[in-house]
Structure 1
Amino acid sequence: MDWKFLQGLLSGVNKYSTAFGRIWLSVVFVFRVLVFVVAAERVWSDDQGHFDCNTRQPGCTNICYDYFFPISHIRLWALQLIFVTCPSFMVVLHVAYREERERKYQAKHGENTRLYDNPGQKHGGLWWTYLMSLFIKTAFEITFLYLLHYIYDSFKLPRKVQCDVSPCPNLVDCYISRPTEKTIFTYFMVGASVVCVVLNICEIFYLIALRMVNLRHRGSVHTSSRKIYPDTDFDGKSSLKE
């Protein structure tokens, strides 16, 4: 898979992210994508070839491997990285939509006019899009962590598993290659995923708290203006009939 293409797309997200979002991107690229590409893929490259069972029954080893590894860790992590990064493109697409509206507005009313003060500023619909992307990313992270634990019953890989699935003649012992090394990488990737979940939750609370502070500030400013100019409405126009 071409991870450079994904990195190029996500680099645009960094411009519209908060501090928590930038840390999240750094964790994803350095501790997940980079480790995945450089080391994890090589650790699992010989997974099936070195899965040995103490039987010569044709097909038994392949069936047992498929039984204990219905989906490879490496493919599950690849899907996870794709799913948790795609919601960030919602923000980029929304900003691109705003910029296109801004271009059409200026073409119609003149270059000195503006529809948005800053198309990338998280106000209005863009704020909701950004918040929704965080909820979706968090949901995907938790879902894949649950799937990994549910499929393998644990994050720790055993050294030996026992299999009696047909066409195995009886209960056979099968041995996983390099279980300690694979367990270490599994815990590392799970830990990085948990860190990303915590960062997403912190960013959600940060956005909501900042929004509440801004709304409260606007309410106090509006109340003060009404006290100073009791005969004016929201637009600053006189409410008295002449």
Structure 2
Amino acid sequence: MDWGTLHTFLGGVNKHSTSIGKIWLTVLFIFRVMILVVAAQEVWGDEQADFTCNTLQPGCKNVCYDHFFPVSHIRLWALQLIFVSTPALLVAMHVAYHRHEKKRKFIKGEIKNEFKDIEEIKSQKVRIEGSLWWTYTSSIFFRIIFEAAFMYVFYFLYNGYHLPWVLKCGIDPCPNLVDCFISRPTEKTVFTIFMISASVICMLLNVAELCYLLLKVCFRSRRAQTQRNHPNHTLRESKQNEMNELISEGGQGAVTGFPR
């Protein structure tokens, strides 16, 4: 799996994310993708070869292994990362479509006064509002759903997040109840708990970002209502708030090492 390609795509999404979204992307790559690529694959590389049972009955070992580990931890984690990352790509597609429409209008001369050239359109930061707000919040909602769903799948498939030292297996063609052993169960338990904890942190960041976006749109709606009721009184305050928001968005690139 080419994780570098995924990093490139999500790095583009990072330009249009909130500060919380940038933190989420950092946690995703440093504490999940990097751990999965560098460490976890080494720990689980010998899972089936070193799975042993105290019987010589042909087929018993394979059947017991398939029963206790229907899906490899590594493959399930990789699948989880793909599902969690996919909604973020919808934001990148939405922004690309938005810029394509602006380029088309610029070439036709419909918005000649707004931009100097096409390069300015490419470098313009797209604000999270309107249809992009719905796309962005929907992507966060689906990320939360996928995180929770995979955590439940892990718990359901492996009867919890702890790997026991001894597994009792009595499935045919095993002659009787046999003892089976997995390699490095304590180390694998530590990695499993670490990956689940990283999933919980990512899910909490997604919830926090979703709440932030909802509160932000509520404040904007309230401010717009106030401006309609008192246009002269709130004009200066509105300009100051917009300036503060632009300054805040300009400083979000310092939150992580990803490009804006």
TM-score with structure 1 length normalisation?
0.90
Paired position in structure 2 for 1:96: 96
Q: Identify, as 1 or 2, the structure richer in helix.
A: 2
Which residue type is aligned with residue 225 of structure 1? Answer: P
Matched length = 227
Deviation track 1:152-180 (CA, whole Å, cap 9, x = no partner) reads 11100000001111111111100011000
Paired position in structure 2 for 1:51: 51
CA distance in 1 between counterparts of 2:99 and 2:113 reads 13
Q: CA deviation at 1:106?
A: 1.1
Select between 31-40 and 106-115 the one with higher mean Cα deviation.
Answer: 106-115
Unpaired runs of 5+ residues, structure 2, are 116-120, 235-260
Paired position in structure 1 for 2:85: 85
Q: Residues 122 and 170 from structure 1, CA distance in 2 versus in 1: closer, same or farther, beyond 3 angstroms?
A: same
SS in 2 for 1:161: strand
CA distance in 1 between counterparts of 2:15 and 2:125 reads 12
Paired position in structure 2 for 1:14: 14
Paired position in structure 2 for 1:141: 147
Paired position in structure 1 for 2:242: none
Which structure would you say has the larger RCO, counting Cα contacts within 8 Å and 6 or more residues apart?
Answer: 2
Which residue type is aligned with residue 148 of structure 2? Answer: I
SS in 2 for 1:48: coil
The percent identity for this pair of structures is 48
Q: CA deviation at 1:111?
A: 5.5
1:201 aligns with 2:207: yes
Do the aligned residues in 2 keep the contact of 1:95 with 1:119 (CA within 8 Å)? no
Q: CA deviation at 1:109?
A: 2.3
TM-score with structure 2 length normalisation?
0.84
SS in 2 for 1:70: coil
CA distance in 2 between counterparts of 1:114 and 1:100 reads 15
Which residue type is aligned with residue 156 of structure 2? Answer: Y
Paired position in structure 1 for 2:24: 24
CA distance in 2 between counterparts of 1:219 and 1:152 reads 53
**Superposed CA RMSD:** 1.7
1:161-172 correspondence runs (5 A): 161-172=167-178
Q: Which has the larger radius of gyration?
A: 1
